Each structure stands twice: as structure tokens, then as C-alpha cells.
Amino acid sequence: MTAERFDKPFTQQEPIPEAGIEAALGVLRHGRLHRYNTLGDEVGEVAALEVEFAAFTGARYCLAVASGGYALGCALRALGIGPGDRVLTNGFTLAPVPGAIASVGAVPVFVEVDEGLAIDLDDLAAKAGQGAKALMLSHMRGHICDMDRLMAICNGASLPVIEDCAHTMGGAWAGVPSGRHGVMGCYSTQTYKHLNSGEGGLIVSDDADLMARAILLSGSYMLYPRHRAAPPPEAFEAARWVTPNVSGRMDNLRAAILRPQLADMPAQIARWNRLYRRIEAGLAETPGLRLVSRPDKESIVGSSFQFLLPGWRADAVQALVARCQGRGVELKWFGAAEPVAFTSRHDSWRYAPPQSLPETDRILAGLIDMRLPLTFDEADAALIARIIRAEAEVLFQGGVA
């Protein structure tokens, strides 16, 4: 019997829904792409998106911006974080997170990851009292930590929490949407995330002062009364004189593409989770391979899948990645010494002071990651799991430690 192969690309998203294409054409035809270019009482696509995303998350206020990374930097600036300030963040995340901290001249201080791939709350508790100005919490790869305990630790240390929800848009902890636990929640609408406008970002908050500053920072000039999910004009009174314009607005074309996708999110989440659970079931009890358990309080969006190869030698992990690649299954390894494509780790971010993270290093050494685009179906997910399982069994029986 010839070995099964998988032949779909792991980076192919679904097309933009027809309603999004139609709305985009409407914007192109009237030509008013700038968010503040509106006629009379017209509510532009960006302002409408902000209202809809605020409702989706249950937030009082929402601001759409140019990218997820911009959203993170904007949140830090709105909080008044600046040069030399220490900002805690996950030791396991993607480059835009420490990058946003460095963009305001602040210093990233990394917190260890735990076996659930979430932030290690004991390490956070130890580091929270050491003079940091904020926690930028990355729900990396969709893994949400015990948010009740995290907020107790951070509130106890008067540490404001900015949530990086690039991988948890639509997820929740104990029924509270991801992005709604901290003072600000930041999301990305870049192509590989849960909504796709090529590039884009969103910020939500209930804090009127912070949101007024974020809106001014994003480049609203004095046109903020045209927003529909913003604090009242009084909230801008003091800030409008002293808040620099760091332009990073979203435009009406992207917002037009996003609105129909947002309306589809609940159905898309259900599809992602069916793929995720198929892979999980297909890999259960594979010798040498450990699955990441998902807490009952966590509502997941299974847009990617992770598993651990505890104690495997580096060459054995690389062999698994290569053998799966040979059968069309694209795995990413977070333990590689050199940053590759989107994947890098804390010791690759050399603008930050070097830090000792033994737990994170140990876990990342055996961490495998895989995207699950919605162009895959459940039969694809089952096939992918069979391929990984077969290759892991061959290597494990041959000795990997």
C-alpha cells in the first residue's frame, strides 16, 4: 500500500464572502476610502465595523486600526508606557508582541510558559511585583490561561493588562470574551487570523480616557465625533491637546470586507473547532506525543493545533517535521535555533535583554504547531492526523530520546 499524502496548502484562506466583495466594490465606486470622508450623516464602513465589533465582544468602545501590531503599540501609548518602562509579556509569543513593547522604547520582560502553552502564573506572580508598568498578555496560539487567577495577580500588583487576542478573537474564559478581562483588548485582522482584511487591527475597552487617547493616537484629528463606538466628546477634552497623532487608521475598504466576515464568525468558529477536535481525536494516545489539554472554562477557536514531543532529541523532532512535510503536512517547530518564517522565540529578539527561561526553553524544544485553515474539511483533518501519527510512531519505535 502506498503511503497516504495530503495535498492542500496550509496557507490558503477561504475567499472573501460575496457580501464583502459587493461592499468593497461599493466603496471603490463611491471613492470615499478614508474613514472620515463621509457625506452628511453617512456612517462609514469603519465606524459601522467598530459598532459591530463592540457588540460582538460586549465592549463599550471599539477602535479599528491599521494592524494588530499597531493596536498593541497604541494600547501601550494610551497607557502612557514609554522609554525604559518594563513591560511583562509571554516568553512564548510571536515577534509583533515584544516588537510593540520595543516600539515605545519600553523593555520586554518575559514570563515563562506552562505545559498548557499559556503564561505560567507562578512566574507571573513572582515578576508582577518587580516594578513592571503593564502586562501585555499574549493568548498565544489560542491558549487562554486561568484568567480569574491572572486578574487577581495583576490587580493585586496594580498591573494593567493589555490582551493580545490575535489568536483568540471569538474565544472566551468562563464565558467572558477574550479581550474583555484586561483594560484593553487588541485583535488582528491580518490574513492568517480569524478575520481577513489583508492587514488590520481592532482595540476594545470600557475605559473612556484610554479609548479617547487611543482614538487620538490613531489619527482622528478633531474628527472623533464621527465615531459611533467612542466615548463622548468630553472624554477627549484634555487629551486632544496633548496626545500625539501616530497615524494608523483603518480604511473603509478593509472595513467593508470585514463586516460580513464578522457576522459569520460564530459559524466559522464551529467549523474551526470541528477540525481541531478531529485532529485531537486522531492523535490521541500516540506514543511519544502529548496533546495539550484544554480547560473546561476555555471556549476555544481551533484555528491552529499544537502538540508536544517531550524529551525528543532535536534531530528526531526535525525528522518528524521533514517526514510529515514529505507527505504534504506542514508542521512548525518552535525549538529551532534559527528563526524561520513567522516562527521565532525569545532568544531571537536580541533587542531585548537576554533572559533565563528554562521552562519555556524546555517546552518549546518539543513544541510543534500547525495551522488549520477553513479550506480544510473534516476528512482532511482526519488524514492529517493519520499521517502525523504514522510518522511519529515510526520515529518513536526507532528511539527518539
Ligand X SMILES: *Cc1c(COP(=O)(O)O)cnc(C)c1O
Minimum CB–partner distance for residue 71 and ligand X (Å)? 8
**Phi, psi for 352 (deg, rounded to 5):** -90, 150
Binders of ligand X in range 12-31 (CB under 6 A)? none
Return the residue of 97, 202, 308, 317 that touches ligand X, per CB under 6 A: 97
Classify 94 as helix, strand or coil. Answer: coil
Q: Are 306 and 292 spatial neighbours (Cβ–Cβ below 8 Å)?
A: yes
**Which of 221/342 has CB closer to ligand X?**
342
- Residue 289, number of CB atoms within 10 A of its CB: 22
Q: Residue 399 burial by CB count (10 A; 0-12/13-18/19+): exposed, middle or buried?
A: exposed
Q: Which stretch binds ligand X (CB under 6 A): 4-12, 56-64, 159-167, 345-353?
A: 159-167
Return the residue of 85, 120, 164, 391 that touches ligand X, per CB under 6 A: 164
Minimum CB–partner distance for residue 25 and ligand X (Å)? 24
**Which of 155/191 has CB closer to ligand X?**
191
Binders of ligand X in range 204-263 (CB under 6 A)? none
Return the residue of 77, 167, 254, 346 that touches ligand X, per CB under 6 A: 167
DSSP 267-315: HHHHHHHHHHHHHHHHHTT-TT-EEPP--TTEE---SEEEEE-TT--HH
Task: Residue 137: name the closest of 166, 102, 107 by CA.
Answer: 166
Spell out the residues 6+ positions from residue 70 whose beta carbon is closer than 8 angstroms to its own. 201, 218, 248
Q: Which stretch binds ligand X (CB under 6 A): 52-60, 125-133, 160-168, 371-379?
A: 160-168
Return the residue of 140, 147, 229, 324 that touches ligand X, per CB under 6 A: 140
**Phi, psi for 291 (deg, rounded to 5):** -85, 155
Return the residue of 67, 205, 268, 304 that touches ligand X, per CB under 6 A: 67
Distance CA 343, CA 329 (A): 17
Return the residue of 73, 91, 96, 335 that touches ligand X, per CB under 6 A: 96
Q: Looking at beta carbons, which residue is closest to ligand X?
A: 68
- Residue 262, number of CB atoms within 10 A of its CB: 22
**Which of 217/400 has CB closer to ligand X?**
217
DSSP 63-89: EEES-HHHHHHHHHHHTT--TT-EEEE
Place of cell 491572572: 150
Binders of ligand X in range 179-198 (CB under 6 A)? 188, 190
Classify 145 as helix, strand or coil. Answer: coil
Residue 93 as a binder of ligand X (CB under 6 A): the answer is: yes
How many residues at the interface with ligand X, by CB under 6 A? 15
Minimum CB–partner distance for residue 89 and ligand X (Å)? 10
Residue 46 as a binder of ligand X (CB under 6 A): the answer is: no
Q: Which stretch binds ligand X (CB under 6 A): 52-60, 79-87, 164-172, 373-381?
A: 164-172
Residue 201 as a binder of ligand X (CB under 6 A): the answer is: yes
Grid coordinates of 143: 491558549
Distance CA 209, CA 224 (A): 13
Distance CA 115, CA 308 (A): 9
Q: Which stretch binds ligand X (CB under 6 A): 94-102, 225-233, 316-324, 373-381?
A: 94-102
Place of cell 528554562: 358
> Interface with ligand X by CB under 6 A: which residues?
67-69, 93-94, 96-97, 138, 140, 164, 166-167, 188, 190, 201
